[in-house]
Amino acid sequence: MAIKGPAGWFQALGASALGFFERLGRGHLLLFSILGRLPALVPRFGLVVQQIYSVGVLSLLIILVSGLFVGMVLGLQGYYTLVDFGAEQSLGTVVALTLVRELGPVVAALLFAGRAGSALTAEIGLMKATEQLSGMEMMAVDPIKRTLAPRFLAGFLSLPLLAAIFSAIGIMGGYIVGVQLLGVDEGAYWSQMQNSVNFWDDIINGVIKSLAFGFVASWIAVFEGYDAVPTSEGVSRATTRTVVHTSLAVLGLDFILTALMFGEP
Amino acid sequence: MSPDIEPLVSIRDLHFARGRKTIFDGVDIDIRRGQVTAIMGPSGTGKTTLLRLIGGQLRPDKGSVRVDGLEVPKLRTRELYRLRQRMGMLFQSGALLTDLNVFDNVAFPLREHTDLPESMIRDLVLMKLEAVGLRGARGLTTAELSGGMARRVALARAIALDPMMILYDEPFTGQDPISMGVLVKLIRELNDALGLTSVIVSHDVQETSAIADDIYLLSDGKVVAHGSPGELEHYDSEWARQFLKALPDGPVPFHYPAPDFAEDLLAGSEGGRAWQ
pLDDT digits (tens, 9 = 90+) for A27-80: 999 999 999 999 999 999 999 999 999 999 999 999 999 999 999 999 999 999
- Does A231 contact chain B (CB < 8 Å)? no
Chain B residues near residue A139 by CB distance under 8 angstroms: 84-85, 89, 108-109, 112, 157
Query: Where is pLDDT greater, at B205 or B61?
Result: B61
What is the reported pLDDT for A238? 96
Between the CA of residue A161 and those of A64, A103, A168, A188, A209, what are the distances in Å?
Answer: 12, 14, 11, 28, 12
Residues in A touching B88 (Cβ below 8 Å) = 138
Which whole-number Å values give the CA distances from A61 to A103, A158, B39, B111, B141, in the listed order? Answer: 17, 14, 53, 34, 27
Q: How many domains does chain A have?
A: 1
Is residue A18 one of the residues assigned to a domain? no
pTM for this prediction: 0.87
Q: Domain containing A226: what range?
A: 47-262
Decide if A17 is inside a domain: no
- Whether A159 contacts A108, CB under 8 Å: yes
Residue among B98, B109, B113 whose CB faces A132 most closely = B98
Distance CA A63, CA A54 (A): 14
Nearest to B55 among A126, A138, A141 (CB): A138
Least confident of A207-211, B4-8, B68-72: B4-8
In a domain, A181, yes or no: yes
Q: Tell me if B77 sits within 8 A of B28, measured CB to CB.
A: no
CA distance B122 to B143: 22
At residue B155, the 3 state secondary structure works out as helix
- A215 pLDDT more than 90: yes
- Name the pLDDT band for B270 (thresholds 50, 70, 90): low
B118 touches chain A (CB under 8 A): no
> B34-71, pLDDT tens digit by residue?
999 999 988 878 888 999 999 999 999 999 999 998 99
Give yes or no for residue B149 having a pLDDT over 50.
Answer: yes
Residue A31, CA distances (Å) to A11, A216, B256 in order: 30, 10, 44
Q: Does the beta-carbon distance from B108 to A135 stay under 8 Å? A: no
Q: Minimal CA–CA distance to A184: which of A85, A113, A83, A63?
A: A83
Label residue B1 by pLDDT band (50, 70, 90).
very low
Local structure of residue B101 (DSSP, 8 states): B
Q: How far apart are CA B82 and CA A6, in angstroms?
A: 54
Q: Do B113 and A140 touch (CB under 8 A)?
A: yes
Tens-digit pLDDT profile for residues A144-171: 999 999 999 999 999 999 999 999 999 9
% of chain B at pLDDT higher than 90? 49
Residue A16 falls within a domain, yes or no? no
CA distance B258 to B163: 48
Using alpha carbons, list the distances in angstroms from residue A196 to A83, A93, A96, A193, A224. Answer: 19, 6, 9, 5, 41
The alpha-carbon gap from B81 to the nearest alpha carbon of chain A, in Å, equals 5
Mean pLDDT value across chain A: 94
Asked if residue A167 belongs to a domain, the reply is yes
Per-residue pLDDT tens over the stretch A221-263: 999 999 999 999 999 999 999 999 999 999 999 999 999 988 7
Enumerate the residues of chain A whose CB falls inside 8 A of the CB of residue B82: 140
With respect to residue A242, please indicate whether it lies within any of the assigned structural domains: yes
First to last CA, chain A: 56
**pLDDT tens column, A1-29:** 567 788 889 999 999 999 999 999 999 99
pLDDT at B155 over 50: yes
* Cα A74 from Cα A95, distance rounded (Å): 6
In a domain, A153, yes or no: yes
The pLDDT of residue A85: 93
* pLDDT score at A75: 96
Whether A140 sits inside 8 A of B84 (CB atoms) is: yes
C-alpha A67 chain-centroid distance: 14
